[in-house]
Structure 1
């Protein structure tokens, strides 16, 4: 490796190893988290000795891939409401500077120095054993009002999902940028993240862990939550929608888009084809790999256990809808290995997906550091702005060329 590569890998490694509260938990199959999709039936077959736990979980994943809509579809919630609350940090590390920042936010809220902000809240269509996780939370960033005299355009909105273990302020700056573009945003708290995190956790471990069924169920819940947010936006008069996801958020956003053709603009900030490959090889999931290794699993067998939530399984569904897509990946990524991101591009080409891609000369975690975070933000922000402008133009042109409705008159007989 050259000097720059060695420096970048060292920097990336330092960032992924500075948090000392990653916990290795033993392998659990988690069939109970997928009870309504055959989990209990398969668990009973395991108890009777008809299947091994591994074969049963592989079969369950195969069922999901064979009929994904029966797994990912949902019933629209009926308890949508907007609550005004003080923003809170909800950190996932215990570094002194982070805990001090959290205390400062609490102090400012108690002193009345912070403004309350709007948050969309509703009960998730997918239920879990954790009540706090089932109350969906999305900070609401309505678009700035149009300037007087500006042309009327469709109402547009983005669903924004940060990375795994993000605190509650991550990606808020992007939403503020979209506001200025005239695009509204819901910054969605992913399952088991920030305010949805169960009290026993310091990190968002239950979203991705060695509990296979719970990890799959977390993706299912995230996909339903994204689509439910779009339902709420539609009820508010929004017509054009996009999704932006980083790392784990990009996986959730991809599967949601594959299941929902309403999502027209997609930005995937770090992407991979197979969920299990990332879990097994990623530097930030090394504590999960340790549990998998102790259970005798390999990279190939881990891939099989997570096919039901892998973007690769839904390339055909994703390609079926006309949409605009940006892929951003990093050359020196030790979490989503570079080869996996390139595999996404190859599969997009094979499925004739229209996309743009950008490559950051850094690592997965270094993306959040100067100057790379500004490059990343510029690419994402400018892409969303440009593609929504194209959608606006298309909608206005379609309205102009649409045939006029026939005029009917009522004749009365004398």
Structure 2
């Protein structure tokens, strides 16, 4: 199944009206973004780098420079999870992650399944949530709508979130900190686990997949699109695509920057990993005309200019703009409506 997409590749979007209502919407969205950024920075302040952090980072990027994205995100030989999925759809599957971390709770991958009446042969939408996602309620509602359209839905517990939160930490707290090696390995872990899940579902008869990725989940979704081809659509909502900005300019990373500078980890060292971790430095492996980028007009974290730039780089992809900041629920609703209108 392929989305029926109209040209031109970018949807014509009128400028945001400079009315009192429009200005209030921008002010309110920016206020929410900044408040959430303050919370993220507060949590990050619990995670300090140590005396050998720069040396470890140097060794890590030196080893990674030799790898391609396909190497970095490859599923290890023998790491199959088909045995974890029964013949009948069930509510949850768990399996041992192929990436071992220092946190046992994070080493057990989990996905919640929401099957439609067609069973395993139906296409499956992989829902990849945002950083520190507060609740899965919205995703469950989204899954119900997808089921009505004849799709299975799969809510993936990304690394250090939900069932994978180590005791003593907040949901998603460990996914993004000044420990850039853990960040990168977390992204790798997320992509590999989703690829494992896709392979297992293929063996059960599923041949078509879609992706709904939000923010951090959109980042993982973009990385997934760099190495997987079998997608009917890849909808990336406020995805983190400009890693350089996310680290060195984003208001959500102020404490991270301070720690990196204290450890003498400079931008040029970090940039040596962008060929693996930055969607903006790569191209989609699947057909770009199946990719939808969704930008929040008032977003301070995943700036609309960055989302527009990668949409132009991934030639043939689509762009949808939504009048919200980085945090909000309007974007998911409008994305589902956009996909449904184009024969999801």
CA distance in 2, matches of 1:319, 1:345: 14
Q: Name the structure 2 match of 1:252.
A: 220
User: In structure 2, do the counterparts of structure 1 residues 299 and 346 end up closer, same or farther at CA, with 3 Å as the change threshold?
Assistant: farther
Q: 2:325 aligns with which of 351, 354, 363?
A: 363
User: In structure 2, do the counterparts of structure 1 residues 28 and 172 end up closer, same or farther at CA, with 3 Å as the change threshold?
Assistant: farther
Q: How does 1:1-40 map to 2 (within 5 A)?
A: 3-4=23-24, 5-17=26-38, 22-24=43-45, 25-27=47-49
Is this contact kept in 1: 2:44–2:178, CA < 8 A? no
Is this contact kept in 2: 1:241–1:265, CA < 8 A? yes
Deviation at 1:155, TM superposition (A): 2.1
Is this contact kept in 2: 1:264–1:323, CA < 8 A? no
User: In structure 2, do the counterparts of structure 1 residues 192 and 28 end up closer, same or farther at CA, with 3 Å as the change threshold?
Assistant: farther
Q: 1:242 aligns with which of 210, 216, 228?
A: 210
CA distance in 2, matches of 1:276, 1:216: 13
User: In structure 2, do the counterparts of structure 1 residues 213 and 30 end up closer, same or farther at CA, with 3 Å as the change threshold?
Assistant: farther
Q: 1:59 aligns with which of 44, 49, 62?
A: 62
- Aligned residue pairs: how many? 316
CA distance in 1, matches of 2:58, 2:40: 35
Whether 2:168 is the aligned partner of 1:197: answer: no
Q: Which runs of no fewer than 5 residues in structure 2 stay unpaired? A: 1-17
Q: Name the structure 2 match of 1:138.
A: 111
Whether 2:182 is the aligned partner of 1:214: answer: yes
Q: 1:324 aligns with which of 286, 290, 311?
A: 290
CA distance in 1, matches of 2:162, 2:303: 27
CA distance in 2, matches of 1:135, 1:361: 37
Q: Name the structure 1 match of 2:333.
A: 378
The structure having more radius of gyration, on CA atoms, is 1
Which is bigger in relative contact order (C-alpha 8 A, separation at least 6)? Answer: 2
Give the root-mean-square deviation of aligned CA atoms. Answer: 3.0
CA distance in 1, matches of 2:56, 2:100: 24
Q: Name the structure 2 match of 1:161.
A: 128
Give CA-to-partner distance per residue, 1:62-112, whole Å, 9 cap, x none: 223xx22222111442464359xxxxxxxxxxxxxxxxxxxxxxxxxxxxx
What SS does the aligned partner of 2:205 have? coil
TM-score w.r.t. the length of structure 2 is 0.81
Give CA-to-partner distance per residue, 1:334-377, whole Å, 9 cap, x none: 111233222212312xxx2x222111222101x23xxxx2xx23
Give CA-to-partner distance per residue, 1:238-262, whole Å, 9 cap, x none: 1111111101101111111211112
Is this contact kept in 1: 2:260–2:266, CA < 8 A? yes
User: In structure 2, do the counterparts of structure 1 residues 363 and 144 end up closer, same or farther at CA, with 3 Å as the change threshold?
Assistant: same
Q: Which runs of no fewer than 5 residues in structure 1 stay unpaired? A: 32-45, 47-51, 84-116, 147-152, 390-414
Deviation at 1:145, TM superposition (A): 4.5
CA distance in 2, matches of 1:21, 1:173: 31
Deviation at 1:332, TM superposition (A): 1.5
CA distance in 2, matches of 1:29, 1:218: 22
CA distance in 2, matches of 1:331, 1:280: 21
Is this contact kept in 1: 2:112–2:156, CA < 8 A? yes
Give CA-to-partner distance per residue, 1:127-172, whole Å, 9 cap, x none: 22322212111110001359xxxxxx96211110110111451522
TM-score w.r.t. the length of structure 1 is 0.68
User: In structure 2, do the counterparts of structure 1 residues 268 and 118 end up closer, same or farther at CA, with 3 Å as the change threshold?
Assistant: same
Is this contact kept in 1: 2:274–2:281, CA < 8 A? no
Q: How does 1:249-398 map to 2 (within 5 A)?
A: 249-297=217-265, 301-315=269-283, 318-319=284-285, 321=287, 324-348=290-314, 352=315, 354-365=316-327, 367-368=328-329, 373=330, 376-385=331-340, 389=344
What SS does the aligned partner of 1:73 have? coil
What SS does the aligned partner of 2:99 have? coil
Is this contact kept in 2: 1:61–1:305, CA < 8 A? yes
Give CA-to-partner distance per residue, 1:296-353, whole Å, 9 cap, x none: 44555544455421112331xx1564651111111221111233222212312xxx2x
